[in-house]
Amino acid sequence: MNQSRRAARMGRHHKRRGVVALSLTSMMDIFTILVFFLLVNSGTEQQLPSNQSVELPQSLAQQLPKDALIVMVSKDDIIVQGRRIMSADAAEKLEDDVLPALLQELKLQSSNRLTVAAEERNPAIVMGDKTIPYRLLRKIMYTLSEANYTDISLAVMKKEKPVS
């Protein structure tokens, strides 16, 4: 079968080039970088730790928690980032609004956190049991503000909207 001049020229050109090997090294580098990029950027929302000793109040709040310091307050203990700081009874009995043991731990946690700028807000999430007294919650929030945690949030369970 006769080929056109163009088809014959293309055939000769392809015979000269031979088999082209695909370079997998650069492709693997690109995929490795892509995997790390996706892993780092997929974890922007923070999952709050679950604890059976803390029963959160319910709310219709829609906002998800961001990366922040977690202060958990159960009926018995005050826990910062999973570490027990003091008992809730001892904190409640203190006359002063500032809880010294909690303040010391908060300053330690603040110094350990990586901050980009000095004016950046220090976020904190208080996971308080729904039965703790308000004066204890107020003392904890006041101590957080004394430790320069300016963005304080309260953790709640998302309540489903009633169907009407």
At 142 the pLDDT is 93
pLDDT tens track for 84-143: 999 999 999 999 889 999 999 988 888 877 654 455 678 888 888 888 898 999 999 999
Structure pTM?
0.60
At 116 the pLDDT is 46
At 138 the pLDDT is 92
- CATH topology (fold) of 58-158: Nucleotidyltransferase; domain 5 (3.30.420)
How many residues can be counted in the chain? 164
Share of the chain above pLDDT 90, in %: 14
Sheet of 69-73, strands arranged across: 83-87, 77-80, 69-73, 123-128, 151-154
| Residue type at position 34 | L
- Residue 58's pLDDT band, with cuts at 50, 70 and 90, is low
- Residue 45's pLDDT band, with cuts at 50, 70 and 90, is low
Taking the C-alpha atoms of residue 123 and residue 113, their distance in angstroms, rounded to an integer, is 11
Cβ atoms of 105 and 80 within 8 Å: the answer is: yes
Domain boundaries defined on the chain: 5-42, 58-158
Report residue 154: phi and psi, to 5°.
-105, 130
- DSSP three-state, residue 28: helix
At 68 the pLDDT is 82
Identify the H or E element spanning 6. Answer: helix 5-17
Cβ atoms of 157 and 57 within 8 Å: the answer is: yes
What secondary structure letter does DSSP report for 69? E
Residue ranges of E strands in the chain: 58-59, 69-73, 77-80, 83-87, 123-128, 151-154, 157-158
